[in-house]
Structure 1
Amino acid sequence: MVEPIYVPVLPTTRAARSAYAQLDLSVRRRIAPLWTLAPRVGPERPRGRRTFPDPDTDSAELGRWLASRVGPLVEVMDGLPGWVDAAHVECHVEAWASSLWQLTTRSTLRLVTGPERGREHQRHAADLAFMSGRGLGIRVLVDDLPEAHSATELMELVDRLRLQSSQLDLLLDIGPVTDSSDAGKRALAAVDVLGALVAWRRVVLVSGAFPRTLRDLEVRPTRHVERHDWQLNRLLRAARSGARGNIVYGDYSTEHAFSANMASVRQPGPGWGLVRYTTPEGFLIARAPTRGSDHRSRAREMARWIVESGWFRRIGQSEGERWLHACAYGEGARGSGSAEKWIQVGHVQHLHFVVDQLTPTIG
């Protein structure tokens, strides 16, 4: 596995997979995505906890659905590195078995487990990690300041896995960040307390700042919101400058940190979506309708707001910039996009942009 400089946490949706496929090869070689399999049906799952009873009761249909997600994921990754977290579906052993075997034998992706998960699933992931020779990711949800019991739980998990620490990646997940100061305390404590427990192969610090909701968007449809996740990265680098080469930056790209906790099979969404664009310190977000007689012209208007802002980069920077520019100044029914397309374009632009941001700091 080539050492990544950036770990985007992405749901295994068509929009995210398509975005990854559209990245320049030079960018794909610098990143290692942490893919999260969303649940198939049912309500939003709570972070770090299973839902009892599990809302998905159709094992055969779940198996087919997982195959439709995992097969294209293996194909689009094309032997490049990353992780797959199946926390929402790993309890369905029979439905998950075929796709799990495909991941283990036909890809270079690593499986993920965590301290809060069932011991039988931890053991299963460790056995497959040993068989593949690729090792395992341990995802720790840092929702509070880590204490002594957090370190004890993590060390007990490491002992149960029976893998060398050189085969283990520590994925510290801060979750959604709305205040880099509070999140910074958790991040620094996690790096100091958990990052120092063993000689991990790598330590990744992940957080997400893309907002879940924005107030009064129907009245004020354009916003520039702060990238608290990037501010957190800067805070960590300044406070732990000696560890900069050992901690890999990660974020949730241009989706909310809980997006992969929501079922993929849902009722039709609202009649609008978000056109999005990443700037050095924030996100440009524009609400665009997906229905109505003028929805295409309104979508192009929102794209023009982004393109004509002072933050828009050259068209050739990525497929994201190219598409937004074409949308902004296009005409007719084609090329104005949809809610799903705007997510895809946002991912493409963001991933290119973050790699560019991080590249000068490496070394």
Structure 2
Amino acid sequence: MLVPIYAPVLPVRRGAWNAYADLDDQVRQRIAPLWTLVPYAGRERARGESPAPDTAADPTALDRWLTDRADHLVEATAGLPGWLDAAHVESGIDGSGAGLWRLMTRSHLRIVTGPERHPVLQRYAADLAFLTGRGMGIRVLLDAPPDEPLTADVLGLLDRLGLTPPETDLILDLGAVTDAAESGKTALAALDLLGAAARWRTVVLTSGAFPRLHDSSDLGPVLLAHRHDRGLHEAVRAARPDVQGRLLYGDYSIEHAFSANIPHLRGSGPAWGLMRYTAPDAYLLGRVPTRDTDRTDRIHRVRAMARRIVGSEAFRGRAYSDAERWLQDCADGEGSKGSGNPATWIRVGHVQHMTFVVRGLLDGRA
């Protein structure tokens, strides 16, 4: 098996797990995703929110939903490595226990916890890690530059849970970034303080620059959004050339850093979806309607957007991956067949992005 070089943060949703399963095998073996279970119901979760352990309002429904998610993720990962963050569901222990046990025992994923989480839930995750024998990950949310107290909290967590650094992964997560230079300072401080605090098995640096678009007024026909997450990695490598090869490249693929905080059960979204494509320094985003317009007009606009993407300088040609083949076929096609839907567009977006990042890392260009 090839050694992973890329750690995208992916929500446990159909578009993401189908994209991972659809990757070329040589690409997929270089990827170790951080899978994040989305909340089952309720409001959108705040980043870093750590509810106390509680009985789910409907543990039977949560168990049924989570077990189904577990089966899909086990099938998609096919024994390949990665991490699992269950922060949004683990507090409902009565409803999540069986599904998490099923997922951790039937996959090769490592469970994740964090220093800000409730001690009972930290122990819950550590017990699962102990039973699987694969160790675990510590995900540190870096919304501000780290300090000595945070380092002490992380090392104290290791001691309290009985974890040894050689069997523990450190995931440094800067979340949504809009300024590579400023975020780079935080990343460097985290590497100097937390990364150097122990002999970690793996150190992952991840962030996301994909924009969050709330309504149709945020987006014209095509939007170019700068890849600040890539710029952050470039800044870190330039400042610390010795970390090359010891630091795993991470991002949020082609979803916003808060996308996994949105619950599975939610109200209807906007009457449009996004077609997306990754250029070396930017994301190409195109808004296309999903309802409230004539069906023929919707299909025409989807194909027109696909033609914009394949006609751009960034397009890598239909032979690059299954995603490029789909986009080219969509651009060249007629009628409704092959025009896709929001689930298709996000799957295609993930496939082309992850393929592009892995090949860029192998070529030394990412």
TM over 0.5: yes
- Alpha-carbon contact 1:207-1:229 (below 8 Å) kept: yes
CA contact under 8 A between 1:296 and 1:333: conserved in structure 2?
A: yes
Q: Is the 8 A contact 1:290 1:296 kept in 2?
A: no
CA contact (8 A) 1:41 1:56 kept: no
1:244 equivalent to 2:244? Answer yes
Paired letter, 1:157: L
Matched-pair contact (CA < 8 Å) for 2:54–2:91: no
Q: Residue type matched to 1:267 in 2?
A: G
Whole-Å separation in 2 of the counterparts to 1:177 and 1:69: 29
Structure 2 spans left out of the alignment, 5+ residues: none
Of stretches 273-282 and 333-342 in structure 1, the one that deviates more from structure 2 is: 333-342
Deviation, structure 1 residue 128: 2.1
Distance across 1 between alignment mates of 2:88 and 2:192: 29
When the two chains are superposed, the root-mean-square deviation of aligned CA atoms in Å is 1.8
- 1:56–1:210 Cα change, 3 Å: farther
The one-letter amino acid of 1:354's match is: V
**CA deviation digits over 1:283-341, x for unaligned, max 9?**
00011111221001001101100000111001011111011111111100111111221
Which of 343, 348, 351 does residue 351 from structure 2 map onto?
A: 348
Q: Deviations over 1:162-209 (max 9, x none)?
A: 122110000000000111111111111111110011000010000000
Q: Which amino acid aligns with 1:239?
A: A
User: 1:5: Cα distance to partner?
Assistant: 0.4
Query: Residues of 1 paired with 2:52 and 2:162: CA distance?
Result: 30
What corresponds to 2:93 in structure 1?
Answer: 93
Instruction: Give the 3 Å change call, closer, same or farther, for CA 123–51 of structure 1 in structure 2.
Output: closer
Q: Are 1:276 and 1:346, in contact at CA under 8 Å, matched by a contact in 2?
A: yes
Instruction: Report the 3-state secondary structure (helix = DSSP H, G, I; strand = E; otherwise coil) of the residue aligned with 1:315.
Output: coil
Indicate how the Cα distance of structure 1 residues 54 and 134 shifts in structure 2: closer, same or farther if over 3 A, else same: closer
Which amino acid in the other structure matches residue 105 of structure 2?
T
Question: Which residue number in structure 2 is paired with residue 264 of structure 1?
Answer: 264
> For structure 1, which segment, 115-124 or 134-143, has the greater mean C-alpha deviation from structure 2 after superposition?
115-124
Structure 1 runs of 4+ aligned residues shifted over 6 Å read 52-55
Normalised TM-score (structure 2):
0.95
Amino acid at match of 1:77: T
Tell me: CA distance 1:297–1:233, structure 2 relative to 1, closer, same or farther (3 Å).
Answer: same
User: Would you say the 8 A contact 1:169–1:202 is kept in 2?
Assistant: yes
How far residue 50 of structure 1 moved from its aligned partner, in angstroms, is 3.1
Number of residue-to-residue matches in the alignment: 362
How far apart, in 2, do the equivalents of 1:49 and 1:218 lie? 27
User: Partner residue of 2:28?
Assistant: 28
In structure 2, what is the Cα distance between the partners aligned to 1:341 and 1:56? 32
The answer to whether the Cα contact below 8 Å between 1:40 and 1:56 also exists between their aligned partners in 2 is no
* Residue range with higher mean Cα deviation, 199-208 or 95-104: 95-104
Would you say the 8 A contact 1:6–1:249 is kept in 2? yes
Name the structure 2 match of 1:181.
181
Q: 2:315 aligns with which of 304, 312, 315?
A: 312
Residue 339 of structure 1 corresponds to 342
Deviation at 1:19, TM superposition (A): 0.5
Q: Which whole-Å CA distance do the structure 2 matches of 1:162 and 1:124 have between them?
A: 13
Q: Residue 171 of structure 2 aligns with which residue?
A: 171
TM-score (norm 1): 0.96
Give distance in 1, aligned partners of 2:94 and 2:269.
Answer: 31
Distance in 2 separating the partners of 1:91 and 1:219? 37
Question: For 1:133 and 1:2, how far apart are their aligned partners in 2?
Answer: 21
Give yes or no for contact 1:82–1:110 (8 Å, CA) kept in 2. Answer: yes
Would the alpha carbon gap of residues 347 and 55 (structure 1) be closer, same or farther in structure 2, given more than 3 Å must change? Answer: farther
Question: C-alpha distance in 1, partners of 2:108/2:353?
Answer: 24
Question: Identity, % of aligned pairs?
Answer: 53
Q: Supply the distance in 2 between the matched residues of 1:340 and 1:104 (Cα, whole angstroms).
A: 26
